[in-house]
Structure 1
Amino acid sequence: MITSTFIPKLTSEQKFMLSVIVVNAGNYLYNLLLGRILGPEMFADAALLITFLLVLSFVAMTFQLATAKFSVLFENTTFKSFISLVYKYAGITGIIIGAVMIVFAKQLQELFNTNSSLMFTLFGLGVPIYFIMSVNRGFFQGTKRFEKLAWTYQGEMFSRLIITLLLIFTISQVNSSILVVTGIVISFFFGLLPFKKENFSLRVTNVLSKEQTSQISKFFVLTAFYELTQIIINNSDILLVKHYFAEYDAGLYASLALIGRVVYFVTWMFVMLLLPAVIEKKKLGEATAPILVKYVGYVVGLASVVVLGCYLFPEFAIHVLFGDAYLSMAPLLWKYAIATALFAVSNIFAYYFLSLDQYIPVVVSGLLGISQILLIIFFHSSLLEVVLVQIIAMAVLLVVQLAYFFYKYGENSN
């Protein structure tokens, strides 16, 4: 791993945070190069595939977070039984979702106005691998083996970047979306490494008690619901813009979203560190709020820097990252960054409550995610209007999350 090789004195948590920055930078470079090489119209299809990848990551995150949580709580035969069952259900879920994508590939092509249906078929073939990969990552996350966790993310990112670029520059006669999806699917196999094969077993012996099974089921349902809201909030705008606007405008908006979402992706590392830390503190009967406050401070600081940069240098950012063909999006950049920043901060609160098995913030996130879709459906006369309604929805979400935190904090201190 890059961070282990060059900076051996850092703690595993610090190496992981640095690795996340490297991975995010690589993913951004991947997106930016595709935007520059393909141009707005062809990039629209590539951006849709990237959006599908993000959607997949949120669905699979249910299994990763559940594995992370119960890797902290369960031990010995109980853990072995749990991890075997998770692998089983993750594999089944991946096969079902992948099969649905393959069967309805033609309909997906018509819905999103893409040049090919084969891109959805190929993507569907790789879905089961991604789910297995997510369970493996959850084990590393829960047991705080952050260096191995970083390896899986770096392997996926570097392989996707290198393989996709090689395909695009060497096979010019094939549709670019097919080459992009091929690179994505191959990267899933690299993301499996290192694989903790001792945890994987086709023979599942269930020794979990009814109470443990109920605890797992509740967390799965709660997490799945929240990850659904993440999918809605993070990706509904790109999918709806792809549906309502022309290819060129959809490509421009995709570039805007990729730059503006740097806040969310940079701050995601704090969510990865927050969950096991909060669960461990709760298990020991210690206060968890100070951990939340610390990470909220980090996120607010980083988000403020990004928003300010987007406000002061929008044309420079777009020119350097995507090129002059996308400059018409410059006036919207800081506004989109605000919407993403509001969501990033509220996201920290949501995962904090999620780790404590508290339901109300998750339900609220779902309602606000649905409201964002409805707002865009009714207000999409321009790309500016699409961005403004997202700011409104995310501002309301953050206010509600803050209100709930202070209510619970005051309740616990009485």
Structure 2
Amino acid sequence: MQATTTIKVKKMSPEQLFMLSVLAVNGGNYLYNLILGRVLGPAQFADAAVLITFLLVLSFVAMTFQLVTAKFSVIFENEIFNSFIARIYKNATIFGLAFGALIVFFAKDLQVVFNTSSSSMFVIFGIGVPLYFLMSVNRGVFQGKKQFKALSVTYQSEMLSRLLITLGLIFLFNIQSSVVIAVGILISFGFGLIPFKFKGFSFKSSYAIPSTYSKQVKRFFLITAFYELTQIIINNSDILLVKHYFESYDAGLYASLALIGRIVYFIAWMFVMLLLPTVIQLKKEGKETAPILFKYVGYIAIIAALIIIGCALFPETAITLLFGDSYLAMAPLLWKYALATGLFAISNLFAYYYLSLDRYVPVVISGLFGMLQVGLVVFFHDSLEQVVHMQIIAMVLLLLIQVVFFVIDQKRR
């Protein structure tokens, strides 16, 4: 008698596949930044950091279109969905062209404000902006329909192309210039459109969206745009303000600190991507939504705590391994910056949770504390350490207010 052994392999769910993919993409983006930091050195890396920050700002602006698309891809169906997608593609393209044109037009002014060595890098970056908005709407459809495999591919395509093209140009032609980095970013936007849903892609719609739905979309768009603005302020204002107030060498050191300290935020982002469509679907089905928030807050709190402890115990090891000895001056501040981003990552989950439920008070709260952070840094920037301390103060207060709001809201309900 022949014995046969069958091994049952548990198939990975689309959500798990997407989470793995996000980790890989974040790892690739970190590798991209780390190599640039090592190759360019603190002074030149400061210019690269401005471009990378502009890319993050662009991603938050375009995220408005992605989240709106994701939300209403869950709610709308058939003719209403097709009409909505046509309209959102049209509006995203118009906005992308206008935003890109502004960056190109003010390229020389941006060079002066941020003390960069070239204005051409802003021109090249601006040319690619419309592509990024198309890419974001495409991703929004995948996110809303929970097509996480396709969503994973578009993020990987963008990351891998930017990594390989930029580093290829630097190492093959020995060109260490911010223009090369801008070219790599521009080309990566094209690759980020893969896979693109050409079927059904149109700027025209034959079906008029009912006014009640149209108002719902506009309201959610405006609130989301406001919240993404607060994300831009909280996430990127410190790097841009440091680049404005400090010398290039110090700004480059701070950019390396920010890159390492933000690990927890970028890991948290994959939970936000899963949170929004899940909460909307649960609400649509009349089910309880708070447990999914508790689940993701718990994950982020544990991850943040581990990263902060690691940064506190081994700051010099982390900086030396990732950036090299040139950046060691930032070692004492590493755990503090990680603490600030960890607090923000957790409070961010509360805001996106309520945004998914069409509850907007936490969004306004985030906006107020984003402005508070900017104000604190503008008035208190005698040293890089003081800049970090101001962010910790703002983020502690933000998280406390978000938690208090959630507790009061749950008691009322």
TM range (shorter): over 0.9
Identify the residue that residue 103 of structure 1 maps to in structure 2. 105
Provide the identity percentage. 63
Q: How many residues align?
A: 405
Identify the residue that residue 363 of structure 1 maps to in structure 2. 364
AA aligned to 1:157 is M
Identify the residue that residue 29 of structure 2 maps to in structure 1. 27
User: What are the within-5 Å matches in structure 2 for residues 290-305 of structure 1?
Assistant: 290-305=291-306
Question: Given the alignment of the two structures, is residue 158 of structure 1 paired with residue 160 of structure 2, yes or no?
Answer: yes
Identify the residue that residue 76 of structure 1 maps to in structure 2. 78
Identify the residue that residue 393 of structure 1 maps to in structure 2. 394
Question: By how many angstroms is 1:175 displaced?
Answer: 5.4
Identify the residue that residue 13 of structure 2 maps to in structure 1. 11
Distance in 2, matches of 1:206 and 1:38, equals 53
Distance in 2, matches of 1:206 and 1:326, equals 58
* Misfit runs of 4+, over 6 Å: none
User: What are the within-5 Å matches in structure 2 for residues 250-265 of structure 1?
Assistant: 250-265=251-266
TM normalised by structure 2 equals 0.97
Distance in 2, matches of 1:201 and 1:327, equals 52
Aligned to 2:199, the other structure's residue is in SS state: helix
Contact 1:41–1:251 under 8 Å retained in 2: yes
Contact 1:82–1:206 under 8 Å retained in 2: no
**Measured at CA, do residues 237 and 208 of structure 1 come closer, stay the same or move farther in structure 2, by a change above 3 Å?**
same
Identify the residue that residue 212 of structure 1 maps to in structure 2. 213
Question: Given the alignment of the two structures, is residue 46 of structure 1 paired with residue 44 of structure 2, yes or no?
Answer: no
Identify the residue that residue 372 of structure 1 maps to in structure 2. 373
User: What are the within-5 Å matches in structure 2 for residues 36-185 of structure 1?
Assistant: 36-172=38-174, 174=175, 176-185=177-186
Distance in 1, matches of 2:298 and 2:95, equals 36
AA aligned to 2:330 is M
User: What are the within-5 Å matches in structure 2 for residues 268-283 of structure 1?
Assistant: 268-283=269-284
Distance in 2, matches of 1:396 and 1:193, equals 41
Question: Given the alignment of the two structures, is residue 316 of structure 1 paired with residue 317 of structure 2, yes or no?
Answer: yes
Contact 2:87–2:204 under 8 Å retained in 1: no
Aligned to 1:197, the other structure's residue is in SS state: coil
Which shifted more, 285-294 or 193-202? 193-202
Question: By how many angstroms is 1:206 displaced?
Answer: 4.6
* Uncovered stretches (5+) of structure 2, i.e. residues with no partner: 1-8
Distance in 2, matches of 1:320 and 1:351, equals 34
* Uncovered stretches (5+) of structure 1, i.e. residues with no partner: 1-6
TM normalised by structure 1 equals 0.97
AA aligned to 2:128 is G
Superimposed CA distance per residue, residues 290-344 of structure 1 (whole angstroms, 9 cap, x where no aligned partner): 1101111111011111111101100000000000000000000000000000000
Identify the residue that residue 4 of structure 1 maps to in structure 2. none
AA aligned to 1:334 is W
Distance in 2, matches of 1:206 and 1:107, equals 44
